[in-house]
A and B are shown apart, each in its own frame.
Chain A
Amino acid sequence: MLNQLTISELAARLAKREVSAREAMQSCLDQIQRVDGKIHAFISHDAADALAQADAADKLIAQNGRDTSHPLLGVPVAIKDVLAVKNQPLNCGSKILGKFVSPYDSTVVEKLKAAGAIIFGRLNMDEFAMGSSTENSAFGITRNPWDTERIPGGSSGGSAAAVAADECLAALGSDTGGSIRQPAALCGCVGLKPTYGRVSRYGLVAFASSLDQIGTFTKDVRDAATMLNVIAGHDSRDSTSVPQPVPDYSAALTGDIKGLKLGLPKEYLIGGLDAEVKASVDAAVKQFEKLGAEIVEISLPHTDYAIATYYIVATAEASANLARFDGIRYGARVDGNDPIELYSKTRGAGFGPEVKRRIILGTYVLSSGYYDAYYLRAQKVRTLIRNDFLKAFEKVDAIVTPTSPTAAFKIGEKSDDPLQMYLSDIFTISCNLAGICGISVPCGFTENPKLPIGLQLLGKPFGEETLLKIVHAYEMNAEWHKQKPAM
């Protein structure tokens, strides 16, 4: 089954001409046909276009072989519905974009195409990436491939579910407060959120511009390195992308982590941490020690303030960013007698409940008389949170935590209680506020029902090489990632 392969496995078989890109793509399409009715990871996909891209890849391989100049040649990669792919629909899981079709490629998609990838499908997500369960999509909910009564996590729930269910070899997502790492953990795949500024956000629909970062979903750590090699780098079209050289991330995967120092934050032993999650993370820590890493207890004293800070900063930025969806230049429109009425009716009809909640909260914390009390104070606490991390990284090379306090919860369990939903992001949110990098890798399963558990590692700004090296060494000795959902 070619759809079950990792990128590196497929690349090797394509290079030896044992299989064709068309066969690999067809195998993913067959899997979608077989399982996507149950999990609904995809909002839509264009099978004919995907196969045409596969044929083009096969032609290139026939002409030139499959060399390193196109590291993703013939590899099917699916895309979260928040990234622009030329001539494909883009809805952000919302009604408000109507029949929007992207007039251009996002930089990451341009880079993936240049590397030879087959770009296909629109992956489901919480509307405008606001949510932790993929229950907030106007296109229906996505279900966890390990247990279809449960959520896949969010907001990139479609990306995580599609990779876990072998409907594609890799996927792109976006992470504003954990939207890559948390669903990767709950679905049992590898989710990488690079450092803020490492990957261009051009062509990513903005949610919270100072927190958003594009990242990858893959079946193992090696593939995460391969994908990051392709998408990382400065882009003059994103003024916040950082002009730092891109190293060869694959070269960092040496398996040797002797002497590296890993920090365990004492503040992360919170009340709501599930016993099985804790046991799996403890076992992973023991594994790191066996591999020669040194474990150091550290303190991130402002951890308890991260969620409150996040929900001010993120909603404030979102309320400004989402002002552009007003029914004038693109998307759906509800007519009104004057422009204000048109905006108001269009937005009232087009946005779902969670997006409305966050726009109202964000507008409120920025409104006259409250700016200093909420937004400015939150930005100052953000400094304290960032300083916690920078101080910790003077002592350690990376920080180890659970990705999520529990395994996947049931559909509907938290959807009526937004605050409880927000609190489930406790371990992932600080990373975005601090602008550092993070990754989630599988580290075990709960027993009954069997659900994946994720281990999070947080790294220094632009410390992706070290981060990937550490989790790769772990993965080689743990092999949780090789288990597949029954479906």
Chain B
Amino acid sequence: MAAPEIDIKYVAHLARLHLTSDEEKKLGAQLGGILGYIEKLNELDVTGVEPTAHAVPMVNVTRADEIQPSLPHDEALRNAPAKANGLFMVPKIVE
């Protein structure tokens, strides 16, 4: 079974990942091969099989609603590429 063509540019946009045109070409060819291999899952009948999201599912995990120490403000900002007035700096979002 042939794998579908991947629209690399579109997927890269969804992933917010800039690719050079060389990367697009190389990735397109490699992913075609990988998706072709993955097609083998279609050989199996999975009717009525429940999906496994976690091998050891734990549901409704909560802890007591108590105030606990958390990362100090300056520690949280310690690795920021750009900061000012105790905030992360980002490019303008709204005109």
Which residues of A pack against B, CB within 8 Å? 98-101, 103-104, 195-197, 210, 236, 239-240, 242, 302, 304-305, 307-309, 311-312, 319, 323, 326-333, 335-345, 347-349, 351, 353, 356-357, 359-361, 363-364, 367, 374, 376-384, 386, 418-419, 422, 433-436, 461
Query: What B residues does A433 contact at CB under 8 A?
Result: 52, 55
CB–CB A364/B6 < 8 A: yes
- In angstroms, Cα B91 to Cα A357, docked, is 28
Apart from A240-B58, A342-B90, A363-B15: 11 A-B pairs, beta carbons within 8 A: A104-B75, A210-B55, A302-B44, A308-B38, A311-B38, A345-B18, A367-B14, A380-B51, A434-B55, A435-B56, A436-B55
Q: Indicate if the CB atoms of A338 and B92 lie closer than 8 Å.
A: yes
**Interface core residue of B50, B55, B79 (most chain A CB under 10 Å):** B55
CB distance from B10 to the nearest CB of A (A): 8
Taking CB as reference atom, which chain A residue is nearest B14?
A: A363
Closest to A462 in B: B56
- Which residues of chain A are near B44, meaning CB under 8 Å? 302, 305, 381, 384
Q: Which residues of B contact A418 (CB under 8 A)?
A: 30, 33-34
Name the one of A100, A196, A359 contacting B55, with C-beta atoms under 8 angstroms: A196
Q: Which of B7-21 contact A (CB under 8 A)?
A: 8, 11-20
Distance in angstroms between the alpha carbons of A52 and B12 in the assembled complex = 47
A418 to B37, CA, bound (A): 12
Residues of A within 8 A of B41 (CB): 305, 308-309, 312, 377-378, 381
Q: Which residues of A contact B81 (CB under 8 A)?
A: 98, 327-328, 330-333
Q: A196-B56, A461-B56 are in contact. Are A347 and B16 (CB under 8 A)?
A: yes
Q: Does B82 contact A (CB under 8 A)?
A: yes
Q: Which residue of chain B has its CB nearest to the CB of A98?
A: B81
Most chain A CB neighbours (cut-off 10 Å) among B23, B56, B91: B56
By the criterion CB–CB under 8 Å, are B90 and A364 in contact? Answer: no
Q: How far is the CB of B1 from chain A (nearest CB, A)?
A: 11
Given contacts A104-B71, A381-B41, contact A335 B6 (CB under 8 A): no
Cross-chain contact A386 with B52 (CB below 8 angstroms)? yes
Asked if B53 lies at the interface with its beta carbon under 8 angstroms from chain A, I say yes
A380, B79: Cβ atoms under 8 Å?
A: no
The residues of B that contact A304 with a CB separation of less than 8 Å are 40
B16 touches A333 (CB 8 A): no
Within 8 A of A (CB), among B23-69: 23, 27, 30-31, 33-35, 37-38, 40-42, 44, 46, 49-56, 58, 61, 63
Q: How far is it, in angstroms, between the C-alpha of A197 and the C-alpha of B57 when the chains are bound?
A: 10
Interface code B69-94, partner A: CB below 8 Å = 1, 0 otherwise?
A: 00100011011111000001011110
Determine which of A240, A333, A357, A382 lies in contact with B51 in the assembled complex, contact meaning CB atoms within 8 Å: A382
Whether the pair A356, B19 counts as a contact (CB closer than 8 A) is yes
Task: Choose from A236, A335, A348 the contact partner of B63 (Cβ within 8 Å).
Answer: A236
Given that A210-B55, A333-B82, A386-B55 are contacting pairs, would A367 and B17 also be in contact in the complex, using a CB cutoff of 8 Å? no
Across the interface, do B71 and A210 meet the contact criterion of CB distance under 8 Å? no
Instruction: Decide if A338 touches B17 in the complex (CB within 8 Å).
Output: no
| CB–CB B78/A360 < 8 A | no
Contact check, A239 vs B61: say whether CB atoms are below 8 A apart: yes
Whether A360 lies near B80 (C-beta < 8 A) is no
Chain A residues with CB under 8 A of B91: 335-339, 341-342
Is A329 touching B88 in the complex (CB atoms < 8 A)? yes
CA–CA, A55 and B92, complex, Å: 51
A335 to B90, CA, bound (A): 9
The interface centre, meaning the residue of B27, B31, B51, B78 with most chain A CB atoms within 10 A of its CB, is B51
B27: chain A residues within 8 A (beta carbon):
356-357, 360
With a cutoff of 8 Å between Cβ atoms, the chain A residues found around residue B16 in the complex are 323, 326, 340, 343-344, 347
Cα–Cα, bound, A272→B41 (Å): 21
Contacts of A361 in B (CB 8 A): 31, 34-35
B78 surroundings in chain A (CB, below 8 A): 101, 103
| Chain A residues whose C-beta falls within 8 Å of the C-beta of B30 in the assembled complex | 357, 418-419
The answer on a CB contact under 8 Å between A360 and B31 is yes
B50-A380 in contact (CB<8A): yes
Question: A419 contacts B23, CB within 8 Å?
Answer: no
In order of increasing CB-CB distance, the 8 nearest A-B pairs are A435-B55, A348-B18, A379-B51, A330-B79, A333-B81, A380-B46, A239-B61, A343-B16
Residues on B with beta carbons closer than 8 Å to the beta carbon of A357: 27, 30-31
Q: Which of B6, B52, B80 contacts A383 (CB 8 A)?
A: B52
Chain B, residue nearest A360 (CB): B11
Contact B46 A240 (CB under 8 A): no
Residue of B whose beta carbon sits closest to that of A379? B51
B71, A103: Cβ atoms under 8 Å? yes
Contact B56 A364 (CB under 8 A): no
Contact A376 B51 (CB under 8 A): yes
How many angstroms between the C-alpha atoms of A383 and B58 in the bound complex? 16
Q: Tell me the complex Cα distance, A302–B40, Å.
A: 12
User: How far is A195 from B30 in the complex, measured between Cα atoms in Å?
Assistant: 33
Chain B's nearest CB lies how many Å from the CB of A209?
A: 9
